[in-house]
Amino acid sequence: MIVSYPDILSKVSEAMWARLQSNGAKFDVMCGVPYTALPIATCMSLNHGTPMLMRRKEVKDYGTKKAIEGAFQAGQTCLIVEDLVTSGMSVQETVAPLEEVKLKVTDVVVLIDREQGGQARLEADGLRLHSAFTLSYILDTLVKHALVGEDVQAKVKQFIAENQTNVSMPPASAAPAAKKRMTYEARAPLAKNSLGRELFELMARKKTNLSVAADVGSPEEMLELADAVGPHVCVLKTHVDVFDSWTADHAKKLEELAAKHDFLIFEDRKFADIGNTVVMQYGGGIYKIADWSHITNAHLVPGPGIIDGLKKVGMEKGRGLLLLAEMSSKGTLANGDYTKKVAAAAEENQDFVMGFISVSPNAWGVETSPGLIHMTPGVQLAAGGDDLGQQYNTPAGVIGERGSDVIIVGRGVYKAVDPAKAAKEYREAGWRAYEDSLA
């Protein structure tokens, strides 16, 4: 909202500038994290004569296109300007393209540090965080002026304590797991689909319940990411229909990486047609998904014929199917009775159905067989969402409280400065949550 109040915008940027001065930060140019921090950065630039750069958020492949606009020289130091810091992830997304064009980044200024682990994360990457305010300071001030009650203050403090994003520091008061669970090893022999069994065994052997969603721009980038995060994942999830091309050679290379790093491939195709059509879509077309993807998924909207159609193609190839019982997006219609019906259909088709895409299986009101696996998208180190309806839960929330088995992480990993390092962090967080919830 501050963008609409020039006097506040001006005061806010002066408070941030004052913090930088008192902390002795030195820089040649500055860059706001798109988009909310851009007016703040502009204001600081105008008032203090420090040149500004702009990062184009939509340019993903900053190696080939111009992601950083403005006049600068290699070796100059660039200050990052941001409104809020939670996990530090969005700051890191801006550091990467700046470093790519040989700018040095050492300092970050924010209006509010939400004190959820962002500072530690940035420090670990050699960045100094300067915040005009911490969230506790703001809370204390609001309470002092009777603008919020002490009950609200306590609730906010508890939320902050329970939603720490720095995975190497377990939250002081983590909520206890809602339900105790069986180990992945113990569930493996209970899986009736052979791939389901293989996945439980793989997770136990490799000690990972992380799946990375490799939603990058080209097959080459995807293969590169698969090689980097491969050691940390049990499943690599793909959307090959977003690429300009997808060939048998790409598929072969992906299968080789799956063998090299010991992971399964999951093409997140979300089939949703009648049996006869999905037979053609799954086995043929330009993607020939059944030839290379171990796992795929389907909506149950058309009725059980979709399972029969997919089974006809996938069963003899040793593939497995996940049914979409819930979705992570805001306003999803997949809930309540629909979810229960999906659970029942999975129980009846366990030869081919290996499990579910779920969000909160503990809240379904029905028990699912332990041989069926639950995989959950919409995971980041901090709860929140994007501007197109995605909703995020934390690894501990997904595995511990909601009772899922596998966390699926996309942007939290592939947009990180170092995706392999981010994958390692998610892996550790997911595994710790699993171990904490064992009976």
Which positions are catalytic?
A: 270
Contact, 316 vs 291, CB < 8 A?
A: no
Taking CB under 6 A as the binding criterion, the range among 199-207, 348-356, 408-416, 419-427 that sits at the site for ligand 5BU is 408-416
Q: Does 400 bind ligand 5BU (CB under 6 A)?
A: no
Q: For residue 97, which of 27, 39, 34 has the smallest C-alpha distance?
A: 34
Minimum CB distance to ligand 5BU, residue 239 (Å): 6
Residues 6+ apart with CB under 8 A from 145: none
Q: Does 408 bind ligand 5BU (CB under 6 A)?
A: yes
Minimum CB distance to ligand 5BU, residue 326 (Å): 7
| DSSP label at residue 49 | T
Q: Does 192 bind ligand 5BU (CB under 6 A)?
A: no
CA distances from 413 to 178, 235, 312, 346, 416 (A): 27, 14, 35, 30, 5
Binding-site size for ligand 5BU (CB under 6 A) equals 17
Taking CB under 6 A as the binding criterion, the range among 102-110, 180-188, 190-198, 322-330 that sits at the site for ligand 5BU is 322-330
Q: State how far the Cα of 14 lies from the Cα of 340, in Å rounded to an integer.
A: 55
DSSP codes, 148-203: S-HHHHHHHHHHHHHT---TTS--TTPPPPSS-B--HHHHGGG-SSHHHHHHHHHH
State which residue, 119 or 380, has the beta carbon closest to ligand 5BU: 380
Tokens of 217: 């721009």
Contact, 223 vs 253, CB < 8 A?
A: yes
The β-bridge partners of 296 are: 267, 321
Contact, 305 vs 329, CB < 8 A?
A: no
Q: State how far the Cα of 40 lies from the Cα of 322, in Å rounded to an integer.
A: 46
In the window 345-374, what residues touch ligand 5BU (CB under 6 A)? 357
Minimum CB distance to ligand 5BU, residue 236 (Å): 11
Tokens of 291: 């030839």
State which residue, 119 or 208, has the beta carbon closest to ligand 5BU: 208
Q: Does 118 bind ligand 5BU (CB under 6 A)?
A: no
Q: Does 323 bind ligand 5BU (CB under 6 A)?
A: no
Among residues 323, 324, 325, 346, which is the contact residue for ligand 5BU, using CB under 6 A? 324
Among residues 67, 265, 409, 423, which is the contact residue for ligand 5BU, using CB under 6 A? 409
Among residues 327, 346, 381, 396, which is the contact residue for ligand 5BU, using CB under 6 A? 327
Q: Does 411 bind ligand 5BU (CB under 6 A)?
A: yes
State which residue, 117 or 410, has the beta carbon closest to ligand 5BU: 410
Q: State how far the Cα of 350 lies from the Cα of 345, in Å rounded to an integer.
A: 9
Q: Does 377 bind ligand 5BU (CB under 6 A)?
A: yes
Taking CB under 6 A as the binding criterion, the range among 244-252, 284-292, 409-417, 418-426 that sits at the site for ligand 5BU is 409-417
Q: Does 410 bind ligand 5BU (CB under 6 A)?
A: yes
Sign of the CA dihedral running 372, 378, 384, 388: negative
Site track for ligand 5BU across 264-283, x = CB under 6 A: ----x---------------
DSSP codes, 61-108: -TTTS--EES---TT-BEEEEEEEESSSHHHHHHHHHHHHTT-B--EE
Site track for ligand 5BU across 57-86, x = CB under 6 A: ------------------------------
Residues that bind ligand 5BU (CB under 6 A): 213, 215, 239, 268, 324, 327-329, 357, 377-378, 390, 408-412
